[in-house]
Structure 1
Amino acid sequence: MKTWRFDAPGQTWVLASDGGIPWTVYWSSALPHGEDLAALAQAGQGDVTGGMLDANPPLSLCPEDTRSFPGQPGLVAYRDDTPIFPKFRETGEALHFRDEALGLSLRFEIATAGDVITAQTVFEAEERLALHWLAAPVLPGPQHATDIIDYAGRWIGEFQRRSTPWRPGIHMREARTGRSGHEHPPFALFPETGATNDTGRVFSMHYGWSGGHRMVAEELPDGRRQIQWGHASGTLQAGTKFRTAPLILAVSDQGFNGTAIAMQRHIRDHVVQWPTPTRPVHYNCWEAVYFDHDLAELTDIAARAAALGAERFVLDDGWFGRRDDDTSSLGDWQVDARKYPNGLKPLIDAVHALGMGFGLWVEPEMVNLNSDLARAHPDWILGPADQIEGRQQRVLDLANPAVADHLFGVLDALLAAHDIDYLKWDHNRVLPIATAAQTDALYRLLGDLRHAHPDVEIESCASGGGRIDAGILAHTHRVWLSDSNDALERTRIQHEAAQFLPAAVTGSHVGPRVCHTSGRTLSMELRAWVAASRHMGFEMDPRELTEDEAQTLKQVTTWWKANRDWMLAGDILRLQSADPSVTAELQRSNNGDQFVVFATKTAAGDQILPRPLRLTGLQRDARYRITLLNRDSAVKLSRGSPALKSGPVEVSGAYLMTHGLTLPWRFPETIWVLQGQRIERET
């Protein structure tokens, strides 16, 4: 029997094989070094009893129909309209298996990357065949878990956490919109019974693919469980070589925060390729001017944004073609001479003179029928002519080499002709046909542009959070988490997304006083601090600000600039608030010397006084100085004298994590922000 072992912080994965496809002997918390792997394989063998086959078919990395496997197979393929049933055997090369009779090859690529393990399946055939399903390496579902946690969502309501009990049969989530999706983003958690943010064992998975995908969590008739991930069925074209996206794995005995830290660090330190370490404060003009562009107004807005602390000005939709609304000109990436008679250079020069970088909105994958491009090349459009449109637009077929060459040409020329350091790359409708070829072609296009313009940063936006995953982040540097700039809704979305996404890639902007997606009116203090908990930016009309609002925004922005380097290189830990009306998190520096707590009061509480808020991730034997950064905003109804209202307090990490911080009373729809500094160890 052959065995393999893979280790990452907090987890060990052990495989065994008797000459065929390996199965998982163990995937859980880290095992001691020197563990006898063959003994583990022997110890884990299941029994056979009545009502069963005479032996248990292995739950392998790619379960096979030919072994009487009673569940979902890991491979479904057809040759000449006839299903194939391979029998793979080892080749002598590690994790490489062959069926010589059918001319098929199966290889598993497993590696440790920082705090996670990544795993991919590669399938090759000597003759062309049609692949209906190929799973990334299949893992057993935790036997001591009761629930499957995954995410649903919608436009302006992304990352809605859902919990489903394990039960006999299949729990399946499939995204068939051609992108990773608001509806079924490719993330899932499998907690053991009783797990919390800080305690208990949690298993975490992320399928790093930006197209349609499927997750199957299945409990077999014999009680075993399997978890499969792959491209959505039917999205792969016939061919001879197929590869799944990487499946990213984390396990932690420190609850949901343990796996969150592993996933955040993997995205930040191993997936995103940063052209510059500094994250500038953004100003995006969309919610200030929409399609109504005027050079004098935009120059004035840019000056006001710079005075507030912005370091990059992003010109959003409306600068090209004859783009006065969303019905025309997508595909015509030439500057609108009506709005910019001298081109973009006067605006870019004005922005640079203010000390800001310049960014530009594009949506290259899309086209309006009312465009010069669609009129010239109707055959470049993906899907049938009578398809239902989304946002008045259609999708270009990026898998057509002529389309990809054209898009690279116009974008390359745009970047070469202008001093642009940032692209906001949007994707505002789902695909009419779910095809993996579109995603593969997008990756190639982004890769070619990054190679030609390595200093240009790219943000991935897809009607907000419709395409967020490790696949797109390998080619971009930031995601627009939601089109909602409502600070309360953002608090929830950001809090849930932190289970997988680091602050450094998560854009968050200060929206208008009255939010255009919710109609809610929220204070500048709340809007500014919620934006300051991620990669900060502004997206309101600065001309609407009162003097007090402008002063608050300047103060918060100044604080963010002074603290961004350690915050964006650190970890986000979700706090276990005893009050359900409080959503709180702690962001901790890599060396543990400092942290900041954001505690948002989203609604009225059930009791008069706030319950103490327990912190996490600190050193028990260290002392910390805690400062309530916005204590001056306490209202008159807060009549008592909690210590934090009068100045810093100094207490131990043990106290903060056991008793917790006693916060002053607050109205709903407000936020407390606390900064902590380690000052010494207890003796």
Structure 2
Amino acid sequence: MIDETFQAWRLDDVRQTLVLAARRTRLPEVVYWGPPLPKGEDLGTLYHAYALDVTGGMLDENPDLSILPEASRTFPGQPGLILRAQDGSPLLPKFCFDGADETGDTLTLHYKDDDTNLRYTARFQTDPDTRIITAKAFLDSDDPVHLHWLSAPVIPGPQLSDEMIDVAGRWTGEFQLNRTAWSPGMRYRENRTGRTGHEHFPGLIVPCRGATNTQGHAYAFHYGWSGGHKMIAEELPDGRRQIQFGHAARMEVNAAKHFESASLYLTFSDDGLNGCAVAFQRHLRDRIITPANDKPRPVHYNCWEAVYFDHKLDILQDIATRAAKLGAERFVLDDGWFGQRDDDTTSLSDWQVDPRKYPDGLGPLIDHVHGEGMTFGIWFEPEMINEDSDLHRAHPDWALGSEDQTLGRQQKALNMGLPEVRDFVYDRMAAILTEYPIDYIKWDHNRVLPAPDADQTRGSYALLDRLREDFPHVEIESCASGGGRIDFGIMKRTQRVWLSDSNDALERLKMQHNAALFLPMSVTGSHVGPRKCHTSGRILDISFRAWVAAQRHMGFEMDPRELNEHEEAVLKDVTSWWKHNRDWLIPADILRLDSADPAVIAEQQLARDGSKFVIFAGKAETSDQIAPRPLRLTRLFHDATYRVRLINRESGAPATLSRGTPVLKEKAIEVSGAWLMTQGVTLPWSFPESMWVLEGERL
């Protein structure tokens, strides 16, 4: 809608409406984002009703909180664009309307500033099925300019919110949720490590007052970029709130004529954090990921924590045989197969098979793996280089950063912005993928960069894109010392993530629960680790380890020769259960449950048609209350009847400690969805570091 005094546009799906409006030809503001509005809503009235009053101590008119707040218009907060000319002088454009394109579910708005010869474009795209709005910003200039900061389209924060939830973490401790109160001033988070980062996952959830996992209003954001990002959540002096996401500041090293943000993924939920989670899960799985094949997700075996760098063909063949008997369908050869790679000090970038360990090449191992009915995968760290490598001796100038830089894991990063570097790495990787029947790459990234550089990320994307085009059948996992590179940008080019280098099931239980706010089961690798965890030293029961892995894309990562008969039997049973159910679990929605007991971390995986579900109720610590509290389920049909049964009763505590007779100990129950969502199921007593698993079926 356009007239002489204002302009307005709206975007809709079945769960949300977003309204943009502008005074005359200025950049628009988001004047409404929330539950769907009637189709006939008068946007002019909305625009005028959105305006704030003016009182003492304020300007005579409130500056626009536009999708690109402009410093030139007396905006009192952080601007959406910081730009300099080549001579260093600041550029302060005032953008004016230059056209709009509305095509299907996409709205593209064009603006220009004739004084600076700059053009700004904002694009918004709705997805009626996943309920994600994708927003992106573009900047063009007639002359090369230096970009310090460009935000994706800026969104106002809700007023009826007391806090925001963002995501921090560390190595072996990814996806930790932070709750920060809104207050006057700015919440500023920036990752300058040159990759997505363990420390600052590019996501934000803003719950409104009273929201929980299963109820209430919430707004969520994810910035799909792998090179480090900046987030600003600011409360202005007048009380308005703005949320900005973009590349980390000063990532564009060179002057250029064209810049663009990554995609900012937005969603509004009217059923708590789960509504945001399901939107992100579905959008990533159904819109972002490009599968390498149409086969069911295979049970995964990785040999890293079994042998590390000590590769011996006969031992690996024995391990492969044992893994296959446990139910593995893919065998992944991890670090140590190339160059002179006996530890992490040498050979990165020398991607040729080590003849000392594999005198006949990888063929004998791959033939054995195939003979056991498994596909074969292999580890690469393509963007990295050791100083002790043939390539570094020939081309020390191909390393990113200074000669005297601090190393990370004994290595440097290759300069992926150089075409000759990408060509070299491509040729080495393509030679291996051509010579051997390889179906899977574990693509690692084990150090932060010496400085953030957008060209590095774009170069890595280009290498991935080229390999995907030439070897489309090869699935790729994004690993960066575990979960250091997980975002929708890298997932456009990969099919799986390694959530963490920790195989500690207790830590995984917590991480997986939080990561489900953004990630579906299909991409989230989770492995049964060794009896004694190599990163925590914790010893956990095989049943708990197996069921935690079965919550996501299941695999094993231990030496199977350590397993006793009982452990083998449990692992086979849980793996068989996962295979039997994976066809409906992979597209299922992961719903975080509101647990009355803080010691219990519980989730409900619900089939897309609502016909069945599974409950994973993990007990992370000793409960304060002596008896278990009921666990409420969610998103069931109120009037439907469900059969619910406990499928792992044998995992429970001994009769001396669990002496009662809860009905689920003995048999299934048939109850209404209303009862399950209002009263909830009461589970038997259990030890800490254990898991109850329930199956439900709509009758």
**So what's the TM-score if we normalise by structure 1?**
0.99
Q: Which residue of 1 aligns with 2:106?
A: none
Secondary structure, aligned partner of 2:25 = coil
Distance apart, 1:225 and its partner CA: 0.7
Deviations 1:511-550 (A, max 9, x none): 0000000100001100000000000000011100000000
Correspondent of 1:15 among 20, 31, 54:
20
Correspondent of 1:84 among 91, 105, 113:
91
Correspondent of 1:275 among 272, 292, 297:
292
- Tell whether the 8 Å contact from 1:71 to 1:218 is kept in structure 2 after alignment: yes
The one-letter amino acid paired with 1:261 is: V
Q: Which residue of 2 aligns with 1:676?
A: 696
Secondary structure, aligned partner of 2:72 = helix
Residue pairs, 1:301-450, within 5 angstroms:
301-450=319-468
**Residues of 1 paired with 2:100 and 2:268: CA distance?**
28
Correspondent of 1:75 among 81, 84, 106:
81
Correspondent of 2:199 among 176, 183, 188:
183
The one-letter amino acid paired with 1:393 is: Q
Q: Which residue of 1 aligns with 2:669?
A: 649
**Residues of 1 paired with 2:287 and 2:193: CA distance?**
28
Secondary structure, aligned partner of 1:306 = helix
The one-letter amino acid paired with 2:98 is: T
The one-letter amino acid paired with 1:175 is: N
- Residue 546, structure 1, aligned to residue 564, structure 2: yes
Q: Which residue of 2 aligns with 1:219?
A: 235
**Residues of 2 paired with 1:418 and 1:400: CA distance?**
28
The one-letter amino acid paired with 1:289 is: V
Correspondent of 1:136 among 121, 131, 152:
152
Distance apart, 1:42 and its partner CA: 1.2
- Residue 194, structure 1, aligned to residue 210, structure 2: yes
Q: Which residue of 2 aligns with 1:105?
A: 119
**Residues of 2 paired with 1:31 and 1:309: CA distance?**
51
Secondary structure, aligned partner of 1:437 = helix
The one-letter amino acid paired with 1:102 is: T
The one-letter amino acid paired with 1:627 is: R
Distance apart, 1:103 and its partner CA: 1.1
Q: Which residue of 1 aligns with 2:506?
A: 488
**Residues of 2 paired with 1:137 and 1:356: CA distance?**
46
The one-letter amino acid paired with 2:199 is: E
Residue pairs, 1:467-482, within 5 angstroms:
467-482=485-500
- Tell whether the 8 Å contact from 1:362 to 1:423 is kept in structure 2 after alignment: yes
- Residue 578, structure 1, aligned to residue 577, structure 2: no
Report percent identity of matched pairs: 59
- Residue 3, structure 1, aligned to residue 8, structure 2: yes
**Residues of 1 paired with 2:99 and 2:216: CA distance?**
39
**Residues of 2 paired with 1:271 and 1:30: CA distance?**
25
Q: Which residue of 1 aligns with 2:105?
A: none
Distance apart, 1:31 and its partner CA: 1.6
**Residues of 2 paired with 1:509 and 1:407: CA distance?**
29
Distance apart, 1:39 and its partner CA: 1.2
Secondary structure, aligned partner of 2:401 = coil
**Residues of 1 paired with 2:496 and 2:292: CA distance?**
12
Distance apart, 1:115 and its partner CA: 1.6
The one-letter amino acid paired with 1:92 is: G
**Residues of 1 paired with 2:330 and 2:39: CA distance?**
49
Secondary structure, aligned partner of 1:92 = strand
Q: Which residue of 2 aligns with 1:57?
A: 63
Deviations 1:538-565 (A, max 9, x none): 0011100000000000000000001011
Correspondent of 1:145 among 161, 164, 185:
161
Residue pairs, 1:113-262, within 5 angstroms:
113=127, 114-237=130-253, 238-262=255-279
Name the stretch that deviates more: 425-434 or 2-11. Answer: 2-11
- Residue 96, structure 1, aligned to residue 107, structure 2: no
Correspondent of 1:603 among 621, 625, 641:
621
**Residues of 2 paired with 1:103 and 1:404: CA distance?**
34
Secondary structure, aligned partner of 1:446 = helix
Distance apart, 1:27 and its partner CA: 1.3
**Residues of 2 paired with 1:179 and 1:93: CA distance?**
34
**Residues of 2 paired with 1:9 and 1:441: CA distance?**
38
Secondary structure, aligned partner of 1:608 = coil
**Residues of 2 paired with 1:590 and 1:482: CA distance?**
28
Distance apart, 1:633 and its partner CA: 2.4
**Residues of 2 paired with 1:8 and 1:245: CA distance?**
22
Secondary structure, aligned partner of 2:694 = strand
**Residues of 2 paired with 1:603 and 1:33: CA distance?**
50
Deviations 1:569-591 (A, max 9, x none): 01000010000111000000100
**Residues of 1 paired with 2:322 and 2:649: CA distance?**
27
Distance apart, 1:184 and its partner CA: 0.6
Name the stretch that deviates more: 283-292 or 639-648. Answer: 639-648
**Residues of 1 paired with 2:651 and 2:193: CA distance?**
45
Correspondent of 1:665 among 681, 685, 688:
685
- Tell whether the 8 Å contact from 1:7 to 1:117 is kept in structure 2 after alignment: no
**Residues of 2 paired with 1:645 and 1:379: CA distance?**
66
Distance apart, 1:11 and its partner CA: 1.6
**Residues of 2 paired with 1:468 and 1:15: CA distance?**
31
Alignment RMSD, CA only? 0.8
Distance apart, 1:29 and its partner CA: 2.0
Distance apart, 1:8 and its partner CA: 2.9
The one-letter amino acid paired with 1:193 is: R
Deviations 1:208-230 (A, max 9, x none): 00011100001111111100000
Q: Which residue of 2 aligns with 1:35?
A: 41
Distance apart, 1:283 and its partner CA: 0.3
Distance apart, 1:10 and its partner CA: 1.9
The one-letter amino acid paired with 1:84 is: L
Structure 1 residue runs without a partner (length 5+): none
**Residues of 2 paired with 1:513 and 1:642: CA distance?**
31
The one-letter amino acid paired with 1:661 is: V
Structure 2 residue runs without a partner (length 5+): 1-5, 102-108
Distance apart, 1:97 and its partner CA: 0.5
**Residues of 1 paired with 2:14 and 2:301: CA distance?**
38
**Residues of 2 paired with 1:597 and 1:24: CA distance?**
39
Secondary structure, aligned partner of 2:262 = coil
**Residues of 1 paired with 2:517 and 2:191: CA distance?**
20
The one-letter amino acid paired with 1:15 is: L
Q: Which residue of 1 aligns with 2:281?
A: 264
Q: Which residue of 2 aligns with 1:639?
A: 659
Secondary structure, aligned partner of 1:82 = coil
Name the stretch that deviates more: 633-642 or 592-601. Answer: 633-642
- Tell whether the 8 Å contact from 1:8 to 1:117 is kept in structure 2 after alignment: no
The one-letter amino acid paired with 2:64 is: P
**Residues of 2 paired with 1:33 and 1:391: CA distance?**
57
Secondary structure, aligned partner of 1:71 = coil
Aligned length: 679
- Tell whether the 8 Å contact from 1:279 to 1:535 is kept in structure 2 after alignment: yes
